[in-house]
Amino acid sequence: MSFTYIDIDSEVESTAMSERVRARHKKRVPHTSEDVMAFEPDVDFSTAGGHFPRVYLPPEHERKYSDDEDDGEYNDEDFAHLIPDPNVDPNANWFKRTHDTLKGDISSILLLLFLYLLQGVPLGLIGAIPLLLSGKHVSYGSQAIFSFAYWPFSLKLLWAPIVDSVFSKRLGRRKSWMVPCQYLIGAFMLYLSYKVNDIMGDNGGSPNVVFLMLIFLPLNFLAATQDIAVDGWALTMLSRKNVGYASTCNAVGQTAGYFLGNIVFLALESPTFCNDFLRSKENYKDTGIIDLAGYVFFWGWVFIVTTTLVLVLKREVDKSVPSNQNNGEVVPAGEEDEELELGVAESYAVLYKILKLKSIHYMVAILLTGKLAFAASDGMTSLKLIEMGIPKDRLAGIGVFLTPMQIMLPWMIGKWTAGPRPLNVFLLAFPYRIFIGGVFAALVWWTPHFSLPDGKFEYSVYIVWITGYIFHQLATYSMFVSMMAFIAQISDPRIGGTYMTMLNTLNNLGGNWPVTVVLAVTDWFTYKDCVVKGTKEILYACNTKVLADQCSSGGDVCEVAVDGYFISVAICSVIGVIWYKVFYNKIKYLQKIPRSQWRVFPSRSAE
C-alpha cells in the first residue's frame, strides 16, 4: 500500500478547520484523538470523574471559539474531548466513577500492565548482574564490557520503523513482533539457566563477562523490541478517552517487573537476608533460597506460557478509531484515523518527517538535556554508599520500600498527567528534584560520621536514606510519568510505534549520556593524598590507580582530600537551574500546541 504525503497550505487548512468547527458547534462531539487533552480549562473537582481530564470543562461563558490559532486559545474542536461522559455519575464514589470511566478498557489495561511487567523482569535481572559481579571482585573494565548489554533500549529507534511496518495481517500488527520476542526471551532464559553457574564462575572459575554480555545483549534487544510493539499496541488497544492510561500502565508495569527481576531476586539470593528474615536460627545456611539459575529458569517458563495465552486469547482491535455511529449520524467510510500500513522505507521517511517538525525540535532539546541536572546525584550516590561500606543487598533492599510508592504514584497523579497539561507536573517536580540532589550530597557527607567500629551502620542511617530515596522517587517518577503521558498524547496512533519509540528513545538517551559524562569527569575534580598511616603527614598525591596501589603497598593510606562527587553535584545543580529558566516557557508553549500540529499525516477527518 502506498501513500502520498500532501502539504496543505496553513491558511487553507485553517479556513477548512473553521468551517468544520462552525458545523459542529452545537454538537460538541469528539473527532480527533490527538485533541483529547488539548485545552487547559478550570479544574472543578466536584464534577471530576475517577481520573480523566475530559470532565474538566470551564463554564460556557469562559469558552472561546476562535479561528485564529495564534491567540493561544483553542476552538470548539479542541473542547470536544473535554465533555463529561454522561454514563459517569459525578456523585458516585471514586471506585464507581473509575469503573464506569474505564468500562470497555479494563481488560486491556490489565493486559498492558502484565506485558509491561514481563518487559521489566529481564531489565531487573540485567540490573542485578553488576552487583553479583562486584561480589566476585570483577574489575571496572569487565563491568564496562557488560554495560553494553544496556545499549539496546537507547538504540531501539534504529529498528522501530521495521517493527512498525513489517508484520503478518493474520497474526496482527503488534503481536507479529511481541509474540516471537517473548518466546525468544523465554528460550534465552531457559538456556541461560543451564549455563549461568559456569558463566558466573560459581563452579570454581572466574566469571566469563564477555559471554555473559553476549547472552544478555540479545535478551535486552528482544525486550526493547517488545517495548516498541507494546507501546504501539497501547495506542490502539485503549479507547481514545482512556489513552492517557498508557503511560500509567508503562510506569506501573515496568516498575513491578523490575522489582521482581532485581530487588526480589537479590533479596532471595542473599544468604544474609534469608537468614535474618526468612529462616530460623537452626536453619541458617550460607546460600540464599534461590540462585540465578533457578530464578531465570522460572521466568523463562512464565514467558513461554503467558505468551501462548496472549497469542490464543487476545485479538488486536483498534479502539483509537472512533465509532461510525455518532449521534445517529453515520461517519463516512475513510474518516477514521486508522493505523497506517507503511513499508520499511516509508517508515524511515516518516521518521525523518517527524524529526522535521518544529515542535519536535524543542522536544529533542528538552529530552536530551533536561536530566543533566540530576546526573551526579542519580548516577553516583549509590556508588558512594557502597564505598562507605553499606552492603549491596542492603542498598538494593531500599527498593523494597520504594516500589509500593512507585506503583501507586502514577495512579495518584493520574488526574493531572492524563489531563490537558501533563507537563505541569514535570515543571513542578523539576526544581524539587534539584533540591533533593543537594540533600543527597549532604547525606553522603553526613553518613560516614555514624559508622560503627566494625564498619557497619545503625538502622537509623538506613531509615534516613530510605526516607531520602522516597522523596527522590516522588520527584523522579512524577517527572517520568508526566513526560510519558505527554508523549502518549502527542504520538499519532497511525504511526504509533515509530512515533512513541523515537521520543522514548530520546528520553532514554537523555538519561544515559549525562551520567556517563559526569562519571568520566568527576575524577578530574577528585584529589587524593598519600598519608602516613596514623598521622596527617602527606607524602604525595595518589590520584591515579598506580600511585594509589603504590601508597597502599607501602603501608600508607590514600585519602580523599577533595571529593569530586560534591563538585559534580554542585555543577549539575547550577546547570539545572539555568536549564529550568531557559526551557520553562518552551515547555508551557509545547502543551498549547494543537495536537494536530504534531501529526505527520493529516487527520482523515480534517481532509
Taking only the tens place, the pLDDT of each residue in 151-177 is 788 777 788 778 877 888 888 888 999
| Higher per-residue pLDDT: 56 or 366 | 366
Least confident stretch, 67-71, 218-222, 285-289: 67-71
Per-residue confidence (pLDDT) for residue 388, from 0 to 100: 80
Residue partners of 599: CB distance under 8 A and separation at least 6:
34, 492
Which spans in 316-422 are helix H? 344-356, 358-369, 375-388, 392-412, 414-417
Distance, CA of 273 to CA of 282 (rounded, Å): 15
Assign 180 a pLDDT band (cuts: 50, 70, 90): very high
Residue where a domain terminates, one of 291, 320, 349: 320
List, as one string, the DSSP characters of 227-292.
Answer: HHHHHHHHHHHS-GGGTTHHHHHHHHHHHHHHIIIIIIHHHHH-HHHIIIIIS-GGG--SS-S--H
Q: What is the mean pLDDT of residues 314-318?
A: 77
What is the model's pLDDT at position 76?
A: 44
Q: Is 234 exposed, middle or buried (0-12, 13-18, 19+ CB in 10 A)?
A: buried
Mean pLDDT over 320-338 rounds to 47
pLDDT of residue 181: 95
- At 580, the pLDDT band (50, 70, 90 cuts) reads very high
* Domain identity same for 38 and 129: no
C-alpha Rg value of the chain to the nearest Å: 27
| Rounded Cα gap, residues 457 and 389, in angstroms | 9
Is residue 29 pLDDT above 60, yes or no?
no
Q: Are residues 165 and 18 in the same domain?
A: no
Residue in the block written with cell 553522603:
444
**Domain shared by 63 and 169, yes or no:** no
Distance CA 123, CA 508 (A): 14
| C-alpha cell, 300 | 523463562
Q: 221-231, pLDDT tens digit by residue?
A: 999 899 889 98
Average confidence (pLDDT) over 342-367: 83
Are 177 and 113 members of one domain? Answer: yes
Q: What is the mean pLDDT of residues 392-397?
A: 74
| Residues 128 and 78 placed together within one structural domain of the fold | no
**pTM above 0.85?**
no
Q: What pLDDT score does 278 carry? A: 84
pLDDT, tens digit, 9 for 90 and up, residues 467-481 = 999 999 889 888 988
The Cα–Cα gap between 406 and 465 comes to: 17
Domain count, the chain: 3
Amino acid at 447: T
Domain contains 598: no
Do 188 and 269 fall into the same domain? yes
Task: For residues 160 and 77, state if they share a domain.
Answer: no
**Arithmetic mean of pLDDT, 347-372:** 87
Among 75, 103, 131, identify where a domain stops.
103
Q: Which of 253-262, 335-344, 424-433, 450-459 has the highest mean pLDDT?
A: 424-433
pLDDT of 523 higher than 80: no
pLDDT at residue number 84: 55
Q: What is the DSSP annotation of 44-70? A: -GGG--SS-GGG----GGG----S-GG
Q: Alpha-carbon distance 551 to 543, whole Å?
A: 11
The pLDDT, as a whole number, for residue 342 is: 64
**CATH classification of the domain holding 243:** 1.20.1250.20
Least confident of 46-60, 222-236, 375-389: 46-60
**What string of DSSP letters covers 68-123?**
-GGGS---HHHHGGGSPPTTS-TTS-HHHHHHHHHTTTHHHHHHHHHHHHHHHHHH
Checking if the pLDDT of 323 tops 70, the result is no
**117 vs 409: which has the higher pLDDT:** 117
The answer on 111 and 85 residing in a single domain is no
Q: Which domain holds residue 244?
A: 105-320
**For the ranges 68-82, 134-148, 211-225, 388-402, the one whose mean pLDDT is highest:** 211-225
Quickly count: other Cβ atoms within 10 Å of residue 97's Cβ. 21
Cell numbers for 194, please give them. Answer: 543451564
Residues 146 and 66 in one domain: no
Domain boundary (72, 103, 134) is at 103
Rounded to the nearest angstrom, the gap between the alpha carbon of residue 433 and the centroid of all alpha carbons in its chain is: 17
